């Protein structure tokens, strides 16, 4: 005998079907935090112990309560296998700069910026000794590379010239190598130009036109110039041989030179701008007779006429330093040794300690999402 469906049973099935559809739409919603686990928060770049090739990236959620460790390995079931030199994002993708102790094993890992799933790997000979990366347009990134380095056996270490790899993120490929000075290092974008520093002993700051990917005339600064940041006044600051040099990016004129303190035993490094771009923070470090490193954090205004290093802003040595431009919170990496996990200390802009979070080996840089 054929049974007739009742109205209630039909309504029940319709309701169940609608529930399945709604549930599926929620699961696949791009606003679902589970779908974009690394969409916001802070990435900690842990350089690792170079000889162990064990650099990693730690993720701190916006709340900062619980860290996730070695997230590339968690997602892709393989380690980065190298020291992590830097990280940047463009076009919804993240670029991880990896420097391996073995020749021809350096690379740039390209990942989905929200999930950290691997999308492509740029390997040798396109990438050799990557040092710094900067987003120059919606889908183009510059990566500075030393090229294949030497071992001082013939009195040299840096290949001359180095190069800047132009990475096209629409194809995930290196489309060009811009010849650069030896030991090419930090890259800073200002307007339609990138300013490239060096640790190879040269004295000129390189200038690249990002619309043509061509070198322009350099700026004479001093030994080993490395750009730091562009301040609230639109001025570029460059560190060179114990001085901070202020450069007008429009006419390329050096406007001022500030000596960093008077104690030559202290080495200034890790210059970072405050959230309002009105103050610089930097680490002044030194070694004792037993080669143990010490140091403190200092601060000065971009309008100051001198940079004393007599009174620390925070009495602590940091292996990494940055400031969250959204909150003004200071992030300092602490490395007890290169064989154990480090820490991230967070401070209010006043210098008051907020908290401490365990990271991985040698936290050296931060990326705010």
pLDDT one-digit tens code per residue, 111-149:
999 999 999 999 999 999 999 999 999 999 999 999 988
Considering the domain architecture, whether residues 314 and 204 belong to the same structural domain is answered as no
Whole-number average pLDDT of the chain: 90
pLDDT at 35: 80
Beta bridge partners of residue 237, listed in sequence order: 229, 246
Would you place residue 155 in the very low, low, confident or very high pLDDT band (cuts 50, 70, 90)?
Answer: low
Report the alpha-carbon distance of residue 192 to residue 318 in Å, rounded: 33
The answer on pLDDT for 286 being more than 90 is yes
DSSP codes of every residue in 72-107:
HHHHHSS---BEEEEEEEETTEEEEEEE-SSTT--E
**Span 164-209, pLDDT tens digits:** 999 999 999 999 999 999 999 999 999 999 999 999 999 999 999 9
The pLDDT tens digits for 43-98 are 999 999 989 999 999 999 988 778 999 999 999 999 999 999 999 999 999 999 99
pLDDT for 151 equals 66
pLDDT of residue 156: 72
pLDDT digits (tens, 9 = 90+) for 231-280: 999 999 999 999 999 999 999 999 999 999 888 888 999 999 999 999 99
125 shares its domain with 184: yes
Residue 1 has pLDDT above 80, yes or no: no
Write out the DSSP string of 153-165.
Answer: TTS--S-SSEEEE
Same domain, 273 and 202: no
What CA–CA distance (Å, rounded) separates 76 from 84? 16
- How far from 179 is each of 110, 200, 221, 339, CA to CA, in Å? 23, 14, 20, 37
| Residue 201: CATH number of its domain | 2.130.10.10
Inside any domain, residue 157: yes
Tell me the residue range of the domain where 345 lies: 260-368
Q: Alpha helices of the chain — where are they, by DSSP H?
A: 7-27, 71-76
Please answer whether residues 41 and 59 qualify as being in contact, where contact means their C-beta atoms are separated by less than 8 angstroms. yes
Q: By the 8 A CB rule, do 87 and 75 touch?
A: no
Domains of the chain: total? 2
């Amino acid at each position: 005998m054929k049974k007739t469906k009742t109205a209630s049973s039909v309504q029940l099935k319709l309701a169940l079907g609608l529930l399945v559809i709604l549930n599926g739409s929620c699961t696949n919603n791009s606003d679902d935090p589970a779908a974009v686990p690394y969409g916001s928060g802070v990435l900690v770049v842990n350089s690792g112990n170079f000889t162990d090739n064990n650099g990693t990236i730690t993720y701190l959620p916006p709340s900062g309560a619980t860290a996730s460790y070695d997230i590339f390995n968690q997602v892709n079931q393989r380690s980065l296998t190298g020291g992590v030199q830097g990280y940047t994002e463009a076009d919804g993708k993240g670029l991880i700069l990896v420097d391996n102790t073995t020749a021809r094993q350096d690379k740039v890992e390209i990942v989905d910026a929200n999930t950290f799933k691997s999308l492509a790997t740029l390997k040798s000979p396109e990438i050799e000794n990557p040092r710094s990366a900067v987003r120059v347009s919606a889908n183009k990134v510059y990566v500075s590379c030393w090229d294949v380095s030497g071992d001082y056996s013939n009195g040299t270490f840096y290949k001359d010239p180095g190069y800047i790899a132009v990475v096209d993120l629409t194809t995930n490929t290196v489309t060009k190598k811009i010849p650069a000075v030896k030991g090419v290092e930090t890259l800073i974008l200002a307007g339609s130009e990138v300013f490239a520093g060096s640790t190879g002993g040269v004295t000129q700051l390189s200038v690249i036109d990002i619309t043509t990917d061509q070198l322009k005339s350099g700026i004479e600064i001093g030994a080993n110039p490395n750009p730091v940041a562009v301040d609230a006044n639109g001025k570029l600051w460059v560190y060179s041989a114990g001085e901070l040099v202020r450069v007008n990016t429009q006419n390329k004129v050096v406007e001022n030179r500030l000596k960093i303190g008077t104690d030559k035993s202290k080495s200034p490094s890790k210059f970072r701008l405050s959230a309002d771009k009105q103050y610089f923070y930097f680490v002044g470090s030194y070694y004792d007779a037993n080669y143990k490193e010490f140091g403190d954090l200092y601060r000065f205004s971009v309008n100051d006429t001198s940079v004393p290093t007599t009174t620390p802003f925070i009495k602590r040595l940091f292996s990494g330093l940055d400031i969250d431009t959204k909150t003004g919170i200071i992030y300092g990496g602490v490395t007890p040794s290169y064989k154990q996990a480090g820490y991230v200390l967070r401070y209010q802009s006043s210098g008051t300690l907020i908290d401490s979070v365990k990271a991985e080996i040698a936290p050296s840089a931060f990326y705010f999402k």
